[in-house]
């Protein structure tokens, strides 16, 4: 007989799983669970297959759970990624089930659902939050009118919660000139972001095939200074 938690966790719609990653959860060996569905349509998104609510070839919860039971002691954590994991109501139950197996929980999120993020915080050990642009420019990236307020509200929640957090930006072509990045980084530092990564945009598999190529990221030395940890990911 399944518990309510198990029944709810089994509803998680999973589009893919990476059994072992060294790069998705800083300092930890982790499995990555790609959750299906996202409310936004970022022009540079390269996960088009994860955006719809239902996957073409979904992975069953029991299959994931079986994998994680076999890897106990070999992996440190499980990262819920996407798509947008918080788009799914089953996420809290899924996190509780995985925590009970002894794994740390990581979350990659765009911050699209601040009201759902808040109750998840006690279940999460580390968060990677995408901040895509200044709030007023979000619709240019996501196509969603209120997306900037939601993402920056999520940032505030995470900073106030004092949770282990990496904020990342993948600047979209057109919002990647030095002046714009300066303003964005200053704003983020002013909000209190300590751990920050700037990531090169790759447009080869972009959702919007008309998106021009991104310029190679150039960041002045000063850009490192307001942050405790700063990473430039060119790869």
Residues near ligand SF4 (CB under 6 A): 38, 40-42, 45, 47, 51, 82-84, 110
Burial (CB count <10 Å: 0-12, 13-18, 19+), residue 65? middle
Burial (CB count <10 Å: 0-12, 13-18, 19+), residue 221? exposed
Q: Which one, 75 or 129, has the nearer CB to ligand SF4?
A: 129
Q: How far is the CB of 7 from ligand SF4 (least distance, A)?
A: 27
Q: How far is the CB of 183 from ligand SF4 (least distance, A)?
A: 21
Q: Which one, 75 or 86, has the nearer CB to ligand SF4?
A: 86
Q: How far is the CB of 197 from ligand SF4 (least distance, A)?
A: 15
Q: Which one, 68 or 120, has the nearer CB to ligand SF4?
A: 120
Give the Cα separation of 139 and 147 in Å (integer): 7
Three-class secondary structure of residue 152 per DSSP: helix
Q: How far is the CB of 227 from ligand SF4 (least distance, A)?
A: 23
Q: How far is the CB of 165 from ligand SF4 (least distance, A)?
A: 17
Q: How far is the CB of 54 from ligand SF4 (least distance, A)?
A: 15
Q: Which one, 97 or 135, has the nearer CB to ligand SF4?
A: 135
Q: Which one, 10 or 41, has the nearer CB to ligand SF4?
A: 41
185 sits in which H/E element:
helix 178-191
Helices (H), 29-137: 61-70, 91-100, 114-120
Q: Which one, 41 or 71, has the nearer CB to ligand SF4?
A: 41
Q: How far is the CB of 146 from ligand SF4 (least distance, A)?
A: 14
Q: Residue count of the chain, please give it.
A: 235
27-63: burial string, b at 16+ Cβ within 10 Å, e else: ebebbbbbbbbbbbebbbbebeebbeeebeeebebee
Give the Cα separation of 142 and 14 in Å (integer): 22
Q: Which one, 83 or 106, has the nearer CB to ligand SF4?
A: 83
Give the Cα separation of 155 and 131 in Å (integer): 8
């Amino acid at each position: 007989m399944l518990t309510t938690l198990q029944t709810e966790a089994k509803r998680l719609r999973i589009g893919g799983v990476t059994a072992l990653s060294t790069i998705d959860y800083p300092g930890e060996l982790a499995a990555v669970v790609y959750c299906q569905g996202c409310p936004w349509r970022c022009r540079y998104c390269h996960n088009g297959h994860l955006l719809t609510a239902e996957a073409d070839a979904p992975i069953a919860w029991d299959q994931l759970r079986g994998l994680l039971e076999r890897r106990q002691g070999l992996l440190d954590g499980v990262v819920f990624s996407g798509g947008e994991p918080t788009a799914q109501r089953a996420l809290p139950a899924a996190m509780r089930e995985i925590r009970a197996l002894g794994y740390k929980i990581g979350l990659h999120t765009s911050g699209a659902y601040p009201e759902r993020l808040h109750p998840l915080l006690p279940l999460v050990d580390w968060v990677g939050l995408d901040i895509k642009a200044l709030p007023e420019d979000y619709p240019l990236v996501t196509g969603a009118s209120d997306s900037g307020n939601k993402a920056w509200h999520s940032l505030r929640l995470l900073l106030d919660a004092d949770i282990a957090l990496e904020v990342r930006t993948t600047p979209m072509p057109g919002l990647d000139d030095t002046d714009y990045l300066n303003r964005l980084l200053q704003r983020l530092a002013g909000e209190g972001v300590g751990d920050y990564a700037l990531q090169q945009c790759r447009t080869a598999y972009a959702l919007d095939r008309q998106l021009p190529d991104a310029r190679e990221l150039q960041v002045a030395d000063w850009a490192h200074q307001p942050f405790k940890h700063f990473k430039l990911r060119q790869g």
